[in-house]
Amino acid sequence: MSKLLEVTAERLVDLALQVPWWGWAVVTGLFLCWLTAKPVRHAWRIRKAEWVLKQLKVLAETSGPAAQFGFLRSKAVDPFTFEEAILSALKERKLKIRRNHRYTGDGGIDGKAWWQGKLILIQAKLYSGHITPKHVEDFNRLCKRKRACGLFVHSGRTGPGSKLHTSQTLDIVSGERLLKLLEGRPITLFPGGLQIKT
- The CATH architecture of the domain made up of 2-197 is 3-Layer(aba) Sandwich (3.40)
Q: Where are the domains of the chain?
A: 2-197
Q: What is the pLDDT of residues 137-177, one digit of tens each?
A: 999 999 999 999 999 999 999 988 888 888 889 999 999 99
- Which is higher by pLDDT, 196 or 141? 141
Is the model's pLDDT at 67 over the cut of 70? yes
How deeply is 71 buried, as exposed, middle or buried, from its count of CB atoms within 10 A (0-12, 13-18, 19+)? middle
Amino acid at 100: N
Among candidates 87, 88, 51, 90, which has minimal Cα distance to 71?
Answer: 51
Distance CA 23, CA 179 (A): 53
- Which is higher by pLDDT, 6 or 184? 184
What average pLDDT does the chain have?
86
Average pLDDT (95-116) is: 85
pLDDT grade for 35, boundaries at 50, 70 and 90: low
Q: What is the pTM of this model?
A: 0.77
How deeply is 54 buried, as exposed, middle or buried, from its count of CB atoms within 10 A (0-12, 13-18, 19+)? exposed
Range with lowest mean pLDDT among 36-40, 47-51, 68-72: 36-40
